[in-house]
Amino acid sequence: MSSAAQRLDGLLRGDLDALHARSLYRVRRLVEGPQGAELLMDGRRYLNFSSNDYLGLAAHPALRDAARHALDQYGVGSGAAHLITGHTRAHAALEEELAVFVQRPRALLFSSGYMANLGLAGALVSRGDCIVEDRLNHASLLDAGLLCGARFSRYTHADPAALRQRLTRPAKRTLVMTDGVFSMDGDLAPLPALARTAGAAGAFLMVDDAHGVGVLGDHGRGSLEHFALGMAEVPVLMGTLGKALGTCGAFVAGSDALIESLIQHARTYIYTTAPPACLAEATRAALKLAQGESWRRAHLFRLIRHFRSGAAALGLPVMDSISAIQPLLLGDAQKAILISDKLRAHGIFAAAIRPPTVPIGRARLRITLTAAHREEHIERLLAVLEQIVKHSR
């Protein structure tokens, strides 16, 4: 008789083989050295168009120096959860500075955006309540809605009228959750209309601004600043630290009552070890740079315009996006892998995104631009894409 391990491996191997057959198998790449416009990966140097390091801060010397100093002061591990002995002056200072940055009374740190979304949904709604989400929300938002115990439904992507229809069923408390910038399509949620729709129904709007904070708005405060919205319209804001700010982790910002409720009830905050203090200090350094060096955002948006103009001239199927996320829609998963592989042969890395991350028939290259890129990088990408896509038609 085969062992339990052999039986389990037999079941798992069949699933893995099926993923291979459908061109959906995922592979990790081995990166050596820091993040940047160029990346040493799998033993070869690539021009990198698959990074969320939108402001080019991940390898900045100021962040390294802040982290080194904090290592001397605090050591490596935080040693406990925030509510035990893991909450340091570094964490407290970062929370205060994030709150000032996004113009809210308070902010609360989480270990990741995934944990922030799971925690806040579980703390704010439960059985008898309702969560309504955009159909193309990030997986962490969808999982938060599914796992929190509230009645869960989704509305047609970026459609306030469809949201209005979902808000007609009675509930004790209704939370509407949406991305500010959608991570795979790069488009912005119609936040003013969503806020009006939610408010008219007595629901509360939560925005996951992982890809907006640090990038959008006159001061880089994100999607809400871009649309001139405040806490009155969007009482719950989540932002991540591992994208434009170049470190790791996340935060939720809002009223004193909101933050105190999360401290008391968010299980992903209460029952996990606090992030290292050195990350908090590095993020404080990143926040200062993001606010003080507005040229980074200006340069990034010049590159976005340059890429979109060049792509339009070449007839490339780039999706409609003003953000740093510029998806090249290819449809078929195998085609997306093929073009990604051909780019890699030319020393350019742009990841192929396939189902289930995106719907079937919507595979694409997820091209992301950062302030670390230069105009000649964009020109090189466009020239190689022209050559590859023309030959693949």
- Kindly list the catalytic residues: 183, 211, 243
Contact (CB, 8 A) for 40 and 32: yes
Most distant CA pair in the chain: distance in Å? 67
Q: From the CA atom positions of the chain, what is the Rg in Å? A: 22
Going by C-alpha positions, the residue among 345, 310, 377, 353 that lies closest to residue 136 is 353
Which residues have a Cβ under 8 Å from the Cβ of 151 and sit 6 or more positions away?
A: 129, 130, 131, 169, 171
Which residues have a Cβ under 8 Å from the Cβ of 125 and sit 6 or more positions away?
A: 131, 148, 149, 150, 173, 174, 175
Compute φ and ψ for 177, nearest 5 degrees.
Answer: -120, 130
Contact (CB, 8 A) for 248 and 242: yes
Residue 209, number of CB atoms within 10 A of its CB = 31
Compute φ and ψ for 107, nearest 5 degrees.
Answer: -140, 155
Question: Hey, what are 20's tokens?
Answer: 């291979």
Bridging pattern class, strands 44-48 and 348-349: parallel
Residue at token pair 């994100």: 222
